[in-house]
Structure 1
Amino acid sequence: MDVHSSANHRQMDYNLDNMDAKHGKGLLCPEDRFDSGVDSLKEDEDLSREFGDMSMDPTEPVSEEYEPWRAAVTEDGDTLLHLSIIHEATEKAQHLIRLSYNHSFLNIQNHQRQTALHLAVITEQPQLLDQLLKAGADPLLVDNSGNTPLHIACKRGSLTCFGVITQNCQRRLTSILSAYNYSGHNCLHLASVNGYISLVESLIRLGADINAQEPCSGRTALHLAVDHQNPTLVCCLLNLGADVNCLNYGGFTPYHLTFGRHNNEIRSQLYDRTSQELRDMPDSESDDSDMEGLSEDEVYDDIKFGK
């Protein structure tokens, strides 16, 4: 990468070869990226010197003119703000945010399409997350998996980051809660898959559609709770008003997903609530006794979706 020089601006001594050698080169996948840079900061005593050469004076007014440091990126597409968040250089990140209030710099996406907001959630820095949102960062931008920052908070079970995002985004909350990632999951689906009961309750209280269906399979949160054999979540969703008679795209109710499974608690919770005409498997005259003696794969394989 070339960093533009200017006679009027002292530049950060930015050497990508050194950065690669010290911090690791090539962040290959979103899961790996969740932890990138955080541990290396604790071992790298020279990081502060690299950030220290940035030519920004906090006493100077914010300029609308081109600033070279805003265009500086690594070969992974990370800006100085991305790097500050990854390495938990909080003061530097706060300085950059102050200089970029309502500026498009806050929404630059790296090569994994992660914004500063995504990285603040991944590194669990709610204070920076709050400052970014108040400065105008866009919570609807998605990474290369289609995840908004709230998707990531729900996937990771971060109640603190969840609270910061939802409190700062009241006017856009409906859009955020209804957004699907590229796997066909909204925030409620992700919280359900991972068994985060508190997040499930909070999402529904905030207006998430409890019966929203995955676009790829038609499963609801209740289907997913049964799929993952989570009786506590099944009970929670039933108490919150989940529709037990909702059919996925294969024509199966949540109760149907108990066939071939051994959790009688889940089955008993759903049986009485499910309409009588929907208790038998679709296109089958068999009753529950017909399923006895069959393995789970024999019974359930045809009704697994989106796994």
Structure 2
Amino acid sequence: MASDDCRKDDLLEDNRTDSGIDSYRSILKSEEPREPSADLIGPRDKISTGEERLDSAYGSSSITVESLSEIVGGCTLSSAKEEQAQSSELSEQEENLLTTITEDGDTILHLAIIHEDEFIAQQLIQLFPKEVLDIQNNLYQSPLHLATYLNLTDVVKSLVEKSSSLGLQDQEGNTALHVACQHGQIECATEMTREVSPSKLAPILETQNWRGLACLHLAALNRQYQIMKLLVKKGADLNIQEGTSGKTALHLAVELHDVTSVKLLLSRGANVDAAMFNGCTPLHLAVGRQDAAIANLLCQSGADTMLRNMEDETALDLADGNDDILALFPFDDIQISGRSVVSVKF
């Protein structure tokens, strides 16, 4: 177990964009490290998703919309190309913004998003280079994660347009697209997938969080039908297996007794006979849960009633005398312990 925790920590470190400022200080040519701004120290408003805060768990900050506006002030990039050409160095105020990191790893952009100040956030997105846009705080949340949590669609769109990374994973292994799938943020998910090439999107769709769940699994678990349709349209593998037991989205939908998801997945071509690591098919799960309606759907879609799991059981072996379930199987297929008890021949 300890080795698993160590491996997870290693993965987090490998996938995290440096939340310090060393990686871009050399660009700014700053000689001395800067302390966090005084405006960032003190009590901080709590923003919670239920279990975790969205920002990071440090004591907190008295940042307000007004103080954010003062911090940003007139620090905007010149739109005149000739002015940009004349000076490649940032102003001191711009440099201060770039090098301000709170004790919990938040940039001012993180804070602007947490306060849902979209105007300030948009200004900062235009100001900051990609390296800063991809900084993760101490919960490994990038600005894109936070904007998605808060369903700030326009901010998500701007971050994506500035090439903010879609592949960064938070402390639970979730990418921003995972977050959208879990919380039903269809507009955010649409923006994150709109202009991304299939070759670049495929690895994101295949990424598993630390529970082994890909985006499609999370959408199925949370009955997010619109997002499921979007993911399939964008090329998500319908039969991708989650990492702990090998369930596909269809297995998960069957476990939830979610007829709508089962129909959706089957209509899109999900493998009705996909096997978990233990050999159980969706039909095994449906019959084992005494769900005649879903078992019937699976049978109508061509489920093989004679497939055996690693316990050498067919789905029929799990029927446990349920007449509604038994009625789904051909009479001459009835077996006990793998042996046919009735053989009808004409």
TM-score (norm 2): 0.71
Find the counterpart in structure 2 of residue 304 from structure 1: none
Q: How far 1:291 sits from its partner (Å)?
A: 5.3
- 1:268-279 pair list within 5 angstroms: 268-272=296-300, 273-278=302-307
Q: How far 1:123 sits from its partner (Å)?
A: 0.9
Question: How far apart, CA to CA, are the structure 2 residues paired with 1:161 and 1:140?
Answer: 15
- 1:32-181 pair list within 5 angstroms: 32-34=52-54, 46-54=64-72, 56-58=74-76, 60=78, 61=84, 64=89, 67-101=95-129, 103-170=130-197, 172-181=200-209
The 1:80–1:288 alpha-carbon spacing in structure 2 relative to 1, beyond 3 Å, is: closer
Q: How far 1:35 sits from its partner (Å)?
A: 8.6
Matched residue SS, 1:145: coil
Aligned residue identity for 2:131: S
1:205 is matched with which residue: 220, 229, 233?
A: 233
Contact 1:218/1:247, CA 8 A, preserved across alignment: yes
Contact 1:12/1:52, CA 8 A, preserved across alignment: no
Give the aligned CA root-mean-square deviation in angstroms.
Answer: 3.3
Contact 1:12/1:50, CA 8 A, preserved across alignment: no
Question: How far apart, CA to CA, are the structure 2 residues paired with 1:256 and 1:125?
Answer: 42
- Count of aligned pairs between the two proteins: 277
Segments of 4+ moved more than 6 angstroms: 27-30
Find the counterpart in structure 2 of residue 23 from structure 1: 45
2:312 is matched with which residue: 270, 283, 296?
A: 283
Find the counterpart in structure 2 of residue 14 from structure 1: 38
Question: How far apart, CA to CA, are the structure 1 residues paired with 2:319 and 2:219?
Answer: 34
Aligned residue identity for 1:89: D
- State whether structure 2 residue 300 is matched by structure 1 residue 259: no
Q: How far 1:290 sits from its partner (Å)?
A: 3.5
Q: How far 1:169 sits from its partner (Å)?
A: 2.1
The 1:33–1:228 alpha-carbon spacing in structure 2 relative to 1, beyond 3 Å, is: same
Identity %: 36
Question: How far apart, CA to CA, are the structure 1 residues paired with 2:271 and 2:100?
Answer: 51
Matched residue SS, 1:276: coil
Contact 1:154/1:191, CA 8 A, preserved across alignment: yes
Bigger shift: 107-116 or 236-245? 236-245
Q: Which has the larger radius of gyration?
A: 2
**1:229-267 CA-partner distances (Å, limit 9, x unpaired):** 101111111111111111100110000002342432111
Contact 1:212/1:221, CA 8 A, preserved across alignment: yes
Structure 2: gaps of 5 or more residues = 1-20, 22-29, 79-83, 324-346
TM-score (norm 1): 0.79
Aligned residue identity for 1:88: E
Question: How far apart, CA to CA, are the structure 2 residues paired with 1:59 and 1:198?
Answer: 38
Aligned residue identity for 1:32: E
The 1:64–1:154 alpha-carbon spacing in structure 2 relative to 1, beyond 3 Å, is: farther
Question: How far apart, CA to CA, are the structure 2 residues paired with 1:233 and 1:124?
Answer: 24
